[in-house]
Amino acid sequence: MTALATPAATMSNPLAGDPLLRVDGLHLSFGGIQALGGVTLQAKARDITAIIGPNGAGKTSLFNAISGFYRPQQGRIRFAGEDISRTPTARRAAKGMARTFQNVALFRGLSVLDNVKLGGHTRLQANPLTAMWYFGRAQREETRLRAEIERDVIDFLEIDHIRHQPVAALSYGLQKRVELARALAMQPKLLMLDEPVAGMNREETEDMARFILDIQEERGIAVLLIEHDMGLVMDIANHVVVLNFGHVIGVGTPSEVRTNPEVVRAYLGGDFVKPIVPDAAAQAQGIAL
């Protein structure tokens, strides 16, 4: 009887055709400002789904709605065959949804290892009292979790040399990797990465791309990715969703999206390889005025 969820259960999903995540007609506005105007998308297990779009397109709002930080006014979110539209954030996480944040959101007072172990929090069963005495089951759980995290997360992401350092002392690239490690420690079914390579140099970006591909290939985790680095998106994504002003304007494989005339006209401006200029559309408008 194991207290830790096994990823095997998620890999052999009986609903093989059913996407792991299905977002249906999501409407979200803040006062009079519409962030999402009926967004529909799917993320399949073993796929890397990229969400692209200019700044302000609603990508992070969409992530926050999927995580449960924002409550959309309309629409449904289904995850692993279950309607989670009204489920609180922490419970969604416990169901297998892990994410990283655009601005690194590590606990700065804690070491790398403590940060990563917090990701395993939801998979432990002991309550505050048994955990307090650190007896029997709590201790066995803790030991097992620790060993598993060492092997599957710390060694896998090559951060073993920094595990006892305080996160505040690390470079930005390493902090992002620790954040990914913490999300992986949750053994998620869905991994949501908000701009995983933003602000990284070439080498760090390539490392991160390799880790994301390994995660997808070796663990069958569905990856949902927001990214401005078009080179990375075109290289690793199986499926691309283009968002603009809160609407999906294009869906398909990277090659389909890059030739989709609407996407090219509205957003890529014909030069899809370059990183997207923030708010290209708004700038064009400004010049026209």
Partner 1 sequence: MTAVSFDWTALVEYTITGFLAGGLLSLIALGFVLIYKGTGVINFAMGEFMMLGAYSFYTANKVWGLAMLPAMVVTIAAIGLFAAIVERGILRPLSGQPVISVLMATIGLASVIHGAVDMVWGGINLEMPELLPRTPLRFGEIFIPGKTLWSFVLASAVITAFSIYFRYSRTGVSMRAAASDPITASALGIDVRRTQVLTWIFAGIVGAIAGVIAASMTTLSPALSHIALGVFAVIILGGLDSIVGAIVAGLAIGVIESLTSAYLGGKVRDIVPYLIVLLILLIRPYGLFGTRQVERL
Residue entry with tokens 């799917």: 42
CA 164 to chain CA centroid, Å, is: 25
Question: Between vectors from CA 266 to CA 265 and to CA 268, what angle results, nearest 5°?
Answer: 70
Cβ 254 to partner 1 shortest distance, Å: 28
* Binding of partner 1 by 69 (CB under 8 A): yes
Q: What are residue 43's DSSP bridge partners?
A: 21
* Binding of partner 1 by 88 (CB under 8 A): yes
Q: What are residue 61's DSSP bridge partners?
A: none
Nearer Cβ to partner 1, position 179 or 229? 179
* Binding of partner 1 by 247 (CB under 8 A): no
- Shortest CA distance to 57 belongs to which of 77, 41, 34? 34
Decide the pairing of beta strands 21-30 and 74-79: antiparallel
* Binding of partner 1 by 94 (CB under 8 A): yes
Task: Please give the residues from 131 up to 160 whose contact with partner 1 meets the rule CB under 8 A.
Answer: 131-132, 134, 138, 142
Member of 42, 49, 67, 85 binding partner 1 (CB under 8 A): 67
Member of 114, 148, 207, 279 binding partner 1 (CB under 8 A): 114
* Binding of partner 1 by 232 (CB under 8 A): no
Provide the Cα torsion 159, 156, 185, 109; round to 10°: 0
Task: Please count the other Cβ atoms lying within 10 Å of the Cβ belonging to residue 2.
Answer: 9
Encoded tokens for 171: 């470079």
* Binding of partner 1 by 42 (CB under 8 A): no
Member of 3, 11, 15, 90 binding partner 1 (CB under 8 A): 90
Secondary structure class of 14 (helix, strand, coil): coil
Residues binding partner 1: number (CB under 8 A): 34
* CA–CA distance, 270 with 262 (Å, rounded to integer): 11
Task: Please give the residues from 156 up to 195 whose contact with partner 1 meets the rule CB under 8 A.
Answer: 182, 186
Nearer Cβ to partner 1, position 104 or 233? 104
- Shortest CA distance to 148 belongs to which of 104, 195, 122, 184? 184
Cβ 187 to partner 1 shortest distance, Å: 11
Member of 39, 48, 80, 93 binding partner 1 (CB under 8 A): 93
DSSP run (H or E) holding 140: helix 136-149
Encoded tokens for 161: 């040399």
Cβ 168 to partner 1 shortest distance, Å: 12
Cβ 92 to partner 1 shortest distance, Å: 8
Per CB under 8 A, residues contacting partner 1 are 67-69, 88-91, 93-94, 98-99, 101, 105-110, 114, 117-119, 121-122, 124, 126, 128, 131-132, 134, 138, 142, 182, 186
